[in-house]
Amino acid sequence: MRIDVVSIFPEYLAALDLSLIGKARRDGLIDLAVHDLRDYTYDRHRTVDDTPYGGGAGMVMKAQPWSEVLERIDESGPLATRPVGDAPAAAATVDDASSTEAEAAERPVLIVPSPAGAVFNQAMAYDLAEHRHLVFACGRYEGIDERVIEWAEDRFDVRPVSLGDYVLNGGEVAVLAMVEAVGRLLPGVVGNPDSLVEESHSDGLLEYPVYTKPAQWQERDVPEVLLSGNHARIARWRRDQQLRRTADRRPDLILELDPESLDKADRVL
Ligand code: 6GU
């Protein structure tokens, strides 16, 4: 997958060199570039913002630097996905899967992080993971001149996305979260793909509680069922814990459950 991030604080995205996503980049599974919006300005102060028409507090990001950086990203074509030197076999697999003709013709997805966007969730992460090229446009201040968003519709599949109902100073932290959520779903990024199956939100429910050795710690016991070796009982207990936890902490998710996904033995307590 190719990912471009545009920001006036490119250093903010340095964390994408670390951990699982950093390794996926070094392995050639994710081809990620960060662009400094100020490189697309021409004045001495490298100005990216101006006062809002109609008045009001704060500043608005100017259209011109945005259109120039986005044109550049759109026209630069697929970056070299393969590391220099001997290409590892893992990179070739993803290359094959992501360069069919249908997918090559697809427009890049332009994600615009904004508290005014649709709320990001695991279903969106799965959807974005299917695309060949994601572009993240990090706004700051009161946002980007709306004409950029309209203009971009001709070349990109534009999606304003929010992390939740609170306000951040800019899109960078949201991009860190979204790239991690999407990146870990790409083939080969998470070492054991089974760990993607039984995690919170993968089936619309929160995850069950987990325990490890020792079996007794500070006079607290691991639930007896988990030591029983009875796999059917363990599965039933975990499912009940998921349902109870979700009903307690996220009743909104219970209402969204597909009745078809419920087991005959399921009953929400
Ligand atoms: Cl994606 N951006 C900003 N600036 N604030 C947010 C957000 C995004 N999600 C929640 N608050």
170 has binding-site annotation: no
Residue 241 lies in a domain: yes
Same domain (yes/no): 183, 224: no
* Number of domains, the chain: 2
136 and 234 inside one domain: no
Residue 35 resides in a domain: yes
- Whether 266 is covered by a domain: the verdict is no
Q: With a 6 A CB cut-off, is 124 part of the ligand 1 pocket? A: no
ipTM: 0.95
Give helix then strand counts, H and E, for the chain: 9, 9
Residue 87: per-residue pLDDT: 39
Residue that finishes a domain, picked among 193, 214, 240 = 193
The residue whose two tokens read 């970056």 is 79
CB 88 within 8 A of CB 102: no
- Alpha-carbon distance of 259 to 252, in angstroms, equals 14
CATH number for the domain harbouring residue 173: 3.40.1280.10
Instruction: Name the band, by pLDDT with cuts 50, 70 and 90, for residue 18.
Output: very high
| 163 appears as a binding residue in the annotation | yes
Provide long-range contacts, Cβ within 8 A and 24+ apart, for 184-187: 184/20, 184/21, 185/125, 185/126, 185/129, 186/1, 186/24, 186/29, 186/30, 186/94, 186/129, 187/29, 187/93, 187/94, 187/97
Strand partners, 33: 4
Residues 66 and 122 both lie in one domain: yes
| pLDDT for the residue 104 | 52
Q: How far is the CA of 144 from the centre of ligand 1 (A)?
A: 13
Asked whether residue 40 falls in the same domain as residue 152, the answer is: yes
Per residue in 115-133, pLDDT tens? 999 999 999 999 999 999 9
Band the pLDDT of 239: cuts 50, 70, 90: very high
Q: Are residues 175 and 225 in the same domain?
A: no
Is 69 marked as binding a ligand?
A: no
For the segment 234-248, the average pLDDT, to the nearest whole number, is 97
Torsions phi, psi for 63 (to 5 deg):
-70, -40
In a domain, 66, yes or no: yes
37 and 130 share a domain? yes
Residue 112 lies in a domain: yes
User: Are 211 and 113 part of one and the same domain?
Assistant: no
Residue 179 assigned to a binding site: no
Question: Is 168 one of the annotated binding-site residues?
Answer: yes
Q: Are residues 241 and 143 in the same domain?
A: no
Q: Tell me whether strands 133-137 and 109-119 are parallel, antiparallel or unpaired.
A: parallel
The verdict on the CB of residue 116 being under 6 Å from ligand 1 is no
Q: Give the residue numbers spanning the domain of 65.
A: 2-193
188: in domain: yes
Q: Which atom of ligand 1 is nearest to the CA of 161?
A: 1
Which DSSP symbol is given to 13? G
197 annotated among ligand-binding-site residues: no
- Separation of 113 CA from ligand 1 center, angstroms? 6
Contact 156, 110 (CB under 8 A): yes
* pLDDT confidence of residue 78: 53
What's the pLDDT tens digit per position in 205-217? 999 999 999 999 9
Percent composition of the chain: helix, strand, coil (DSSP 3-state, to 5)? 40, 15, 40
Ligand 1 center–CA 66 separation, angstroms: 19
User: Do residue 245 and residue 151 come from a single domain?
Assistant: no
Q: Is 144 left (phi over 0), alpha (psi -120 to 50) or beta?
A: beta
Nearest to 258 by CA among 212, 208, 205: 205
Alpha carbon of 205 to ligand 1 centroid (Å): 24
Measured by CA distance, the residue closest to atom 6 of ligand 1 is 115
Q: What is the pTM of this model?
A: 0.87
DSSP 150-198: HHHTTTSEEEEEESSSS--SBSHHHHHHHHHHHHTTSTTTSS-GGGGTT
Q: What is the CATH number of the domain that holds 219?
A: 1.10.1270.20
Is 268 within a domain?
no
Q: Are 116 and 55 in contact (CB under 8 A)?
A: no
Q: In this structure, which residue's CA is closest to atom 2 in ligand 1?
A: 114
Predicted confidence at residue 88, as pLDDT, reads: 42
CA of 69 to the centre of ligand 1 (A): 21
Q: At what angle do helices 172-183 and 19-26 cross, to 10 degrees?
A: 70
Chosen domain end from 151, 172, 193: 193
Rounded CA Rg of the chain: 22
Residue 199 lies in a domain: no
How far apart CA 59 and CA 268 sit, in angstroms, is 49
Ligand 1 contacts CB of residue 164 (under 6 A): yes
Measured in Å, residue 171 CA sits from the centre of ligand 1 at 6
More confident residue, 141 or 105: 141
Question: What would the mean pLDDT of 164-189 be, rounded to a whole number?
Answer: 97
Query: Is the same domain home to 147 and 231?
Result: no
| Angstrom distance (rounded) from CA 174 to CA 161 | 9
Mean confidence (pLDDT) of the chain: 90
Among 193, 214, 230, give the residue marking a domain's end: 193
